[in-house]
Amino acid sequence: MASILVLILLALAYQFGRAIPFVEQWPLFEALRTTAAIIFAVVGAWLAIVYPERLKLSFRRDDPTPSLANGGIGQLLSPAVHSTAILSIVLIVGVTAPVLKRIAVLHVYSVEMRGLSYTLLVFLTLWQLWTVILTLIPADRVKDHSDAQDSFNSTVSSYKALGHKVDPKRSPPEQH
């Protein structure tokens, strides 16, 4: 279902994007580039904070097969990989678009090229949106772990409080 929705959005992007000059599209590409760079930086900071020892071990020279996939680090690293790919594509568009504009043979296809560039923009934006959602998964795992720890601590505190209230000289209440 989601795939069909994405395909419909991309088809609409192509259709309507043909009327949007690249000059108007480029600020959106720049915003996408900025967003990808921010996500990359945030995820990098999370890695450094949450897994400092594992990162150190991953870059040791005497460890021939460092593993980043275990222990949840893969989930944390995934958005950075996606953002890097998006950032790379946007950078390539930024370099190639001015060159393509100067190729006379392509001027005949300028409407189609605008549609394709806008379709690419929408695709990258949807991909970046998915990447933003992926960044929430590790945060949710941290929250779940914290909630479970709080619940455990509360239970232990309750049992400790009960233990202090029970008079060892009195017999426990009868159960019916």
The secondary structure element, H or E, covering residue 29 is helix 22-50
The answer as to whether 127 is a domain residue is yes
The answer as to whether 174 is a domain residue is no
- Residue 66 has a pLDDT of 45
Range of the domain at 123: 2-59+68-144
47 contacts: CB under 8 Å, gap ≥ 6: 55, 73, 76, 77, 80
Report pTM.
0.71
In total, how many domains does the chain have? 1
- Confidence band for 45, pLDDT divided at 50, 70 and 90: confident
Reply yes or no on whether the pLDDT at 70 is more than 60.
Answer: no
Q: Which of 21-25, 28-32, 106-110, 132-136 has the lowest mean pLDDT?
A: 132-136
The answer as to whether 107 is a domain residue is yes
Q: Please, are residues 97 and 22 in contact by the beta-carbon 8 Å criterion?
A: yes
The answer as to whether 150 is a domain residue is no
